[in-house]
Amino acid sequence: MTIEAYINPDFTWPKKLIFFLVALIAIVIGNLLILAWNRIAEPGKGRSAERRRKDNYYRMSEYFYELIISATSVMSFACAYVVLNHVYNLYHGSYHAGLLGTFLYAWENWKDFVLLLMICLSCVLNTLLDKFLIPIKGLSRDQIASVRMLGMFYAIVVLLYLNVIGDESEYSPVMMYYLGLMVGRFVYFDASFMDFLACMKRTIVRTPLLVLGLAISGGMSFFGFTAGYLLERNYYIVGVFYTHIFLLAAVFVLHHGRQIYHLIMKKKSGNGDRHRGRDEYDESDEYADFD
C-alpha cells in the first residue's frame, strides 16, 4: 500500500455533493429526533410549554453540534496518527534525507512527544472551530468542556469498533491517551467526591447524544463505503474521518442557516416582540437538569 492509496480518484465532485447532501439529511434527522424527544419530555400545552420545548430544543441541538465538532477534532488526531505511523512503516529501515528523514528520526525517537503535540493541536483545532467556523454561543465553558470529554469517549468507541472488525492499524496508543485525558477530567488533584459525581451525572445525561452521534456517523460511513465513495483497501479510520468532515460541513450550513433565519425574522418583527429562539434560550436556565 502506498501513500496515494489514501486518495480515491473515483470520489468526484458530483459524488462529493451527493455525500454532502446525505450528511445534511443525517443532521436534519438528528435535529428532528431531538425535537421529537423534547415533545415527548414536555407534553404540556400552552405558550409556556411551547417556549420550554423551544428553549430546550435549541440547547440540545447545540450540544449535538458541539459533539460533532469535538468528534471531528478528535478523529483528526486519530487519523493523523494512523497515517503518520503508516508513512513511518513504509520508509523505515532506509536512509532518507530532508524532511522525510527528519520525520522518521523524530517518530522513532520522540513518538510519544509527537503524539502529545498532536493532541494539543486537535484541542486548538476544536477551539478554532468553536470560535470562528461554527461559534456555539449558547453553551458555557463547563458545558463545552463536558461535551469535549464526551467526544473523547466517542473516539474510543469508534476505535474499539475498528479494532473489532479487523482494521490493521494500531489504535492502542491513541485510546490510551484519550483514556488518560478522560480519567484526568473525571479525577483531578483538588476534586472532591461530589465533583466526581457531578461530572459523571453530566456525562450520563448526555449519553443519548453520544448514541445519536455514533448512529449518524456510523450510518454515513456505511453508506460511503458501500457506495464506493470511501476506500476499504486503506485504513477505515481515513474513511471515518472523511465522513466527519462532511458532517461538519453540514453542521456549518445548518447552524449559520438558522442564524440567518433568526436575523431575518427579527428584522421583520421590527422593534416589537423579540423573536423567540436564540435570544430566549441564551437567557433560559429552566433546563438546568440537562446541564
**178-221, pLDDT tens digit by residue?**
777 776 665 555 556 666 677 677 777 888 999 999 999 999 99
Which of the two residues, 232 and 251, has the higher pLDDT score?
A: 251
pLDDT band (50, 70, 90) for residue 284: very low
Where is average pLDDT lowest: 85-99, 109-123, 233-247? 85-99
Model confidence pLDDT, tens digit, residues 126-185: 989 988 999 988 888 878 888 888 888 898 899 888 888 766 566 777 788 777 777 666
In angstroms, rounded to a whole number, what is the distance separating the alpha carbons of residues 233 and 5?
A: 8
Categorise residue 234: left if φ over 0, alpha if ψ from -120 to 50, beta otherwise.
beta
Report the pLDDT value the prediction gives residue 43, as an integer from 0 to 100: 75
What CA dihedral angle connects 118, 120, 121 and 124, to 10 degrees? 160
Contact in structure between 57 and 24 (CB atoms under 8 Å):
no
Q: What percent of the chain has pLDDT over 90?
A: 29
Per-residue pLDDT at 281: 43
Q: pTM of the predicted model, to two decimals?
A: 0.85
**pLDDT tens-digit map of 65-81:** 999 999 999 899 888 88
| Res. 290: pLDDT tops 60 | no
- DSSP secondary structure letter of residue 110: S
Q: Please report, rounded to a whole number, the percentage of residues in the chain having pLDDT higher than 70.
A: 82
Rounded CA gap, 53 and 38, in Å?
6
Contact (CB, 8 A) for 50 and 236? no
Do the beta carbons of residue 78 and residue 237 sit within 8 Å? yes
* Domain regions of the chain by residue span: 10-290
